[in-house]
Structure 1
Amino acid sequence: MSSVRLIHHPDYIALLPAERCKVLSSAVLNGGLQEANALLNMRVDKHAPLHCLAPEQTLLKKVEELSLPAATIGMMTAASMQSLGQQIEHKDDLTVACWVTSGLSNVRRVGDKADDNAVPGTINICLYINQALSDAALAEALILLTESKVTAIRDAEIISPVSGLPASGTGTDSHAVFCPDAEPQHAYCGKHTTLGELIGRVVLQACSISLNHCLRSLAENE
C-alpha cells in the first residue's frame, strides 16, 4: 500500500499522506507549488444554485468542517465520488499511486471555441510518488499525468459536443502531483525512466477505471 490514507465519502475524497508533501497542482484552493498535509476533492451539486461563497471559501469551510490540516490542497467537482478510479504500482522501493474522479458534462477538445456555459462536471486527478522529486520533475510528472488522461479519453472514444472531434478533457479539470517534501531523489521522470513508466501506467489505468464508471452511470440514466 502507499503511505497515503484515503477517506472515501459520498460527498468528498480526502487523501492524507503520512508526511508533509510538496505539491504541484491546478487546484482551486492552495494551487501552484505548495507544501501540504492533505488533499481534498469535494463534490458539489451541479443542479443546486451557485454558492454564495467563492469556491476557495467553500473549500476552506469544508476543510474546517472535516478538521483537515490548514495546509490542504482543495478541488471541486460535480462528479460522483462513486466514479473513483484508483491504481497503485510498486517497483523496488518506488511506489506510485493515483486517484481519479470523472464527470463528462463539461467535456471538450483542446482548442474548442470558448464559451461561458461551463457546467461543473470535471476530471480530477491526484498522483502520489513516495520518493521526492525536484520542482522540474514535478512539472514533468504533471505533463505525463495529462498525457495519460488524454490517452484514456481517446481510448474511450469520448467526443467533444462542441467540435464533434475526439475530446481531450473537460473545461475545468484539476490535477495534482505530490511527493515527500525532502531532498529530491528524482531530477526528471520522462517516459524512458522507470518512474515515468509507472506514472503513465497508473494514471492511464486509474483514468480508464473512472471513465468507465462515469460512462456506465450515464448509460444507465439515459
Structure 2
Amino acid sequence: MIAEPVPGHRTEQGCDLPLLVWRLPEPVFAVSSAVLGGGLGPCHWIVNATVPMSYDRDDPAAHLGEIAAGLDLTGPGVGLLTGVDVADVVAADDEGVRLWATVGLSAPIQAAAAPTTEQGPYAGTVNLVAWVPQRLSDGALVNAVATITEAKTQAIRELGLAATGTATDAVVVLCPPNGPAAAYGGPRAPWGRRLANAAFRAVLDGGAANLAGPSSWSERQNQDC
C-alpha cells in the first residue's frame, strides 16, 4: 500500500489554494491521462491541486511543474488540476485496491455530442488516483483506465445525471514496478473488478456530496482568484 495523500496549501495571486500530495517512498509504475506526467512510466509523486473555476491558463502542464517545484518534488510525477476543494477527497478500498477521488460535477457532459461554441467552466473535474498492489502489464494498465472510467460513468448515471463525466477528467493507476504482471484490467478480471467497485463507490459518494453543496472551492470561499 502506498501512503495516503498529505493535504497542503499554496498561495497564488493572493489566494490560499488547497492541494494533495502523494510523496512515494519508492518509485512506482503508472499510467495516467493527466496533462503532466501522462502516459506510461515511473512515478515518484502525484499532486492534485485546486484551482478557481475561472481557471484559464493555457499552460496547465507548466503550471503544475511550478507547483511541483514549489513542493520540492523531483523526478517524474503526475500533476492534476480541479475546481473542487481537494480536501473533500473520498477514498475507497476493495481487496487490496485503494482509490482516491475528487469529484466535481458542475459541468457534466456527454462524451459524444454535437459540436458547440458554448464556453463554460471546465475546471470542475473528476480526478481518480488508484493503487493496485500487483504489477499490471502495460495493456492491463490501459484497460484499467477504461474500467475505472466506465465505473465513474456508471456512478454519474446513478446520481441522476445524463452525462459520462466532465471535459477535463483524469485517471491515474499506480502499481509496483516489478514482479509477475497481471495480464488483464477489464471489469471481470480480478484487479479490474476491484478497481471498478472502488471507483463506483468513491465517485458516487463524492458526487453526491458535490451536488448537495457548493460546487467549487471558489463558491465555498465566496471568492474567485
TM beyond 0.5: yes
Q: Which residue of 1 aligns with 2:41?
A: 34
Unaligned runs of 5+ in 1: 159-165
C-alpha separation in 2, matches of 1:113 and 1:192: 33
Residue identity in the other structure for 2:176: P
Residue identity in the other structure for 1:34: G
Q: Which residue of 2 aligns with 1:5?
A: 4
Q: What's the secondary structure of 1:211's corresponding residue? A: helix
CA contact (8 A) 1:86 1:209 kept: no
Report 1:8-23 matches (<5 A): 8-9=7-8, 11-23=18-30
Select which of 56, 59, 74 maps to 2:61.
56
C-alpha separation in 1, matches of 2:28 and 2:108: 31
CA contact (8 A) 1:9 1:81 kept: no
Residue identity in the other structure for 2:48: N
For the structure 1 residues 188 and 217, does the alpha-carbon distance in structure 2 shift closer, same or farther, using more than 3 Å as the test?
Answer: same
C-alpha separation in 2, matches of 1:183 and 1:34: 15
Give the TM-score, by structure 1 length. Answer: 0.85
Number of aligned positions between the proteins: 207
C-alpha separation in 2, matches of 1:118 and 1:137: 35
For the structure 1 residues 29 and 194, does the alpha-carbon distance in structure 2 shift closer, same or farther, using more than 3 Å as the test?
Answer: same
Q: Which residue of 1 aligns with 2:13?
A: none
Deviations 1:96-130 (A, max 9, x none): 11111111222101212334524211111111111
Q: Which residue of 2 aligns with 1:197?
A: 193
Q: What's the secondary structure of 1:68's corresponding residue? A: coil
C-alpha separation in 1, matches of 2:80 and 2:115: 22
Q: What's the secondary structure of 1:63's corresponding residue? A: helix
For the structure 1 residues 41 and 194, does the alpha-carbon distance in structure 2 shift closer, same or farther, using more than 3 Å as the test?
Answer: same
For the structure 1 residues 9 and 210, does the alpha-carbon distance in structure 2 shift closer, same or farther, using more than 3 Å as the test?
Answer: farther
Moved over 4 A (4+): none
CA contact (8 A) 1:106 1:172 kept: no
Identical-residue share of aligned pairs (%)? 26
C-alpha separation in 1, matches of 2:72 and 2:60: 18
Q: Which residue of 2 aligns with 1:185?
A: 181
C-alpha separation in 1, matches of 2:62 and 2:140: 31
Q: What's the secondary structure of 2:26's corresponding residue? A: coil
1:174 offset after TM fit, Å? 1.1
1:137 offset after TM fit, Å? 0.7
Give the TM-score, by structure 2 length. Answer: 0.84
Residue identity in the other structure for 1:59: L
Residue identity in the other structure for 2:111: V
Residue identity in the other structure for 2:24: P
Q: Which residue of 1 aligns with 2:168?
A: 172
Q: What's the secondary structure of 1:19's corresponding residue? A: strand
Q: What's the secondary structure of 1:71's corresponding residue? A: coil
Deviations 1:51-98 (A, max 9, x none): 4x72111101100111122311011111121331111233xxxx2111
Q: Which residue of 1 aligns with 2:132?
A: 129
Q: Which residue of 2 aligns with 1:163?
A: none
C-alpha separation in 2, matches of 1:40 and 1:125: 12
CA contact (8 A) 2:2 2:131 kept: no
C-alpha separation in 2, matches of 1:54 and 1:124: 19
